[in-house]
Homo-oligomer: A and B are copies of this chain.
Amino acid sequence: MKLRILAAAVSALSLAPIYSAAQELIQPIKPPAQINIGMVELGKKLYFDPRLSKSGFISCNSCHNLSMGGSDNLPSSIGDKWQQGPINSPTVLNSSLNVAQFWDGRAADLKEQAGGPIANPGEMGFTHTLAVGVLQSIPAYVRDFKQVFGTEKIDIDGVTTAIAEFEKTLVTPNSRFDQWLLGKKDALSTDEAAGYKLFKESGCVACHNGPAVGGASFQKMGVVEPYKAKTAAEGRFAVTGKDADRFNFKVPTLRNVEMTYPYFHDGAVDTLTEAVDIMGRLQLGKKYTPTENAQIVSFLKTLTGDQPNFAMPILPPSADKTPRPTPFK
């Protein structure tokens, strides 16, 4: 129903001869406001620190690699002892714009999400208590926590709060599409603009909307035709227990989608061409021509924004008393 209303809205919009950002269902990405810089710097270190894992080898950045679109570009991630993850790792870029975190939305926000992988036996394989113990033993971290939180007592709440604060900075403004939305009408080529028109008129924008071009709702994967997934994940059903939520997944952001392959919750699809084709058929009952498909793909590539640009953090060394990682135990 919601889909139909949005589709109608889209259809109406597409009749307008001139687009302006105010009329669009996609909005430009704004730089983050109200950021605590000291906390961001601490969170950045923690994000890159593999000592939050049992092995001392896996950090947040291992699976949400900021050199690679905030993802690992693998169908499913590699966890402690090379365990295969059950689902594709979504990008961390612009994840602050998501309605909730994880494909099934089981974490309300970035802070809640950040604690998950640390203690997941299949991911970082550690415990919150042990991770906090490692940090507490490192004098430079104790100083950082004292400065940021006013106490030398480190706890998981502070750890995840700082990581989330850093992640809030990981937005990617200034894509060519955003330049276009903001009035630079030559920012898109004819094909790219045609691709956007198709994206709107054929209904993609019904789910992929808002500043993140997605991330705002849970939708069924496989509306017109069922999606034959390579994982057993049942999406939102795992959180709500409602049958209606089976195979409902958070709509992924399409920001930087050129960099966040492979696609879908099972990471089964390598190319945008194939992803657009499948989405058209399964979600919209529409078979795009090769030209239409190429135009939509060319539009999607205009959604690549400014990537994170900061100096790699230098992590404080462990102290003599710091518990050591146990990658092979």
Contacts and interface: CB of A to CB of B under 8 A. Distances in A.
Interface of A: 48-51, 55-57, 62, 65-69, 72-74, 78, 81-82, 84, 258-259, 261-262, 270-273, 307-315, 317-318, 320, 324-325, 327-328
B81 A56 contact: no
A117 B94 CA distance: 34
Q: Which 6 A-B pairs have the closest CB atoms?
A: A82-B82, A271-B320, A307-B314, A259-B317, A67-B315, A57-B78
A328 B51 CA distance: 24
Nearest to A309: B311
Nearest to A82: B82
A28 B82 CA distance: 42
Contact of A56 (B72, B320, B327): B72
Contacts of A327: 74, 78, 82, 84
Nearest to A325: B74
B313 A311 contact: no
User: Looking at chain A's contact residues, is the secondary structure mostly helix, strand, loop, or mixed?
Assistant: loop
A162 to B, nearest CB: 16
A313 to B, nearest CB: 6
Given A308-B312, A309-B311, A317-B261, A48 B74 contact: no
Contacts of A271: 320
B57 A312 contact: no
Nearest to A307: B314
Contacts of A68: 50, 315, 317
